[in-house]
Every structure is written in C-alpha cells, then in structure tokens.
Structure 1
C-alpha cells in the first residue's frame, strides 16, 4: 500500500505523487482510488487501490537507478529489428512493462534511429510518449524542474 506523498510510477502514464486517497462511485460501484498528480502537464490520474498489483504500480527509482538510466542513455544503440512492425511491438511491450530501464532503452534507440533514418509517424508518437514517461520519473527522482531534466535529455541526442 502507498500513502499520500509517495512518488510512484503508473506504467504507460509515467511517474507522479499520490495527492490523496478518495472513495468514488464509478459505474454504480464504490471503490477507493489513489489520486496521483503527474509533474508534467498537470494531469491527475485515478488509480483503483484494489488493482494496483495488476497494474504494476511501483516506487520511483533511487539515485542508483538514476545513474543506471544515465548509463543506458550514454550506451550505444541496442539491436532493434529492421522490421517496423516487430520493432514497434517490441518497443510497446517495453513501455507497457513500466520498467524505467526498458523505457530509457526505447527512448535512446528511437532517438538515435530518428537522427539516422527518420521515424514513421507511429514511432515518432511512441518516442514522444516514452520520453514523457522517462522525463516524469527523472524529474521526481532528482527533484528537479522538468526543463532542466529535458535539457539534459536533449544533450544525449544532440
């Protein structure tokens, strides 16, 4: 169980801070929800408390995790399928996993591919989504403004 003030990651949405715990009636059923505020875009997400294990909610990374993400971003591109469809499915699975290291790998690989060959519209949208997920967790992990973390990410791919 998480508590108010905890920094957590919601796979496919990114990281945020649990602002409150509320009971709401949705579709005629009363349930308790974590209300999570994302640091980017000022969006709030309702997470059903009774299904957090299925969703894959987890604590944000610590300093060691942050350093590991940085080393992933600095490393060379990992192998990706040349087949667009396979590459897209593989990257989508990595993003859905909620694993920050896999998301960092997707961001790095797609950003490098974009520089070399360009990306399709679907992959460009995937890169932007993965970037936002990565950015939201790094902002909370380092307790830094989004602009600073975004600038640091830009330096990796300049």
Structure 2
C-alpha cells in the first residue's frame, strides 16, 4: 500500500465511507487559520469528504489496494488462519464492529474467512450474517475496478463465499 501523500486521481479508502477518489486539494478556513484538505469523492453518490493533508491517517484515509496487492489478499482469503472471535455474542459483536470500522483489507479477509467457516459448519445467525456480508462488500468495493487476473480471482472467491450454504 502507498504512503499517505495523495495525488488527484488516487483511489483511497476512508472508513466508513469506502473507496473514493482524490479529486485534488483545497484550502478551507478553520478557526481563523487556512488549512489544506484532500477532497475525496465517492462513486455513485454526491458524497464528498475533506481530509486534512497534514494528517490523513488521523481520519483513517489510506491508499486503496492496487493490482500489486491482489496476490497477498487472495492468499489471505485462501489460507487465512482462524480468527479467535469471542463466542459470547456481545463481545464478538464489538470485535467484529471494530474490524469492519477499521476496514483494513487483510483483517477483513481474515474475518470473512472465519465467518465463512462458521457459515459452512453451522450457518450464521442474522447479525453475524450481516457482518459477513458487510465484510465481503467492503472487500468487493476495494477490488472493483482492478482488472488483472488475480483481482478477478478475488472477486470470484468473494462471490462463492457468499453463496455457500451450511453443510448441516
């Protein structure tokens, strides 16, 4: 993944909004001082975010995955170890919500694999199923627009994972 300096046209991720594109920078007055902000626009919406140029990581802004990241992501999806999620619902829900909010693609991949395992073994309760679907959507959104073979394999894997059913 790239550093935290962005140029117009760069694909970025801003949790919880998802994947957007840096359209440029602008100056905005805040408390009497003019500060520089990245202007991020999100596809298929009129949403726009302004993220401080001095500390984009403070807002959670990061570079979106590129085709170079796809082999690692696919490997994580295919070979992820178990994620030790709490069995108690409230503790599990908190941990899952943290992972979804952070939107780290490799943590999302690990969460997806764990929930997929649970789904195949015994089916998922509604809230876990919603979390499973949200993790898949976040990964699909980040991979969309990447057209190399490995990205297509990631997309196929995610589609297959969602459509699997319980063995019981």
Task: Return the TM-score normalized by structure 1.
Answer: 0.72
Residue among 10, 26, 49 paired with 1:46: 49
State the distance in 2 between where 1:33 and 1:132 align: 28
Residue among 121, 130, 133 paired with 1:125: 130
Q: Once the 2 structures are TM-superposed, how far is the Cα of residue 51 of structure 1 from its aligned partner?
A: 5.0
Residue 77 to residue 42, structure 1, CA distance change in 2 (3 Å): farther
Give the 5 Å matches for 1:1-158: 1-22=5-26, 33-39=37-43, 41-42=44-45, 44-49=47-52, 52-75=56-79, 78=82, 79-140=84-145, 142-143=146-147, 150-156=155-161, 158=164
Q: Once the 2 structures are TM-superposed, how far is the Cα of residue 156 of structure 1 from its aligned partner?
A: 4.3
State the distance in 1 between where 2:24 and 2:147 align: 20
Q: Once the 2 structures are TM-superposed, how far is the Cα of residue 60 of structure 1 from its aligned partner?
A: 2.0
**Counterpart contact for 1:18–1:35, Cα < 8 Å:** yes
Residue 35 to residue 44, structure 1, CA distance change in 2 (3 Å): farther
Runs of at least 5 residues in structure 2 that lack an aligned partner in the other structure: none
CA radius of gyration, larger in = 2
**CA-atom RMSD in angstroms:** 3.2
Q: Once the 2 structures are TM-superposed, how far is the Cα of residue 46 of structure 1 from its aligned partner?
A: 0.9
State the distance in 2 between where 1:38 and 1:111 align: 29
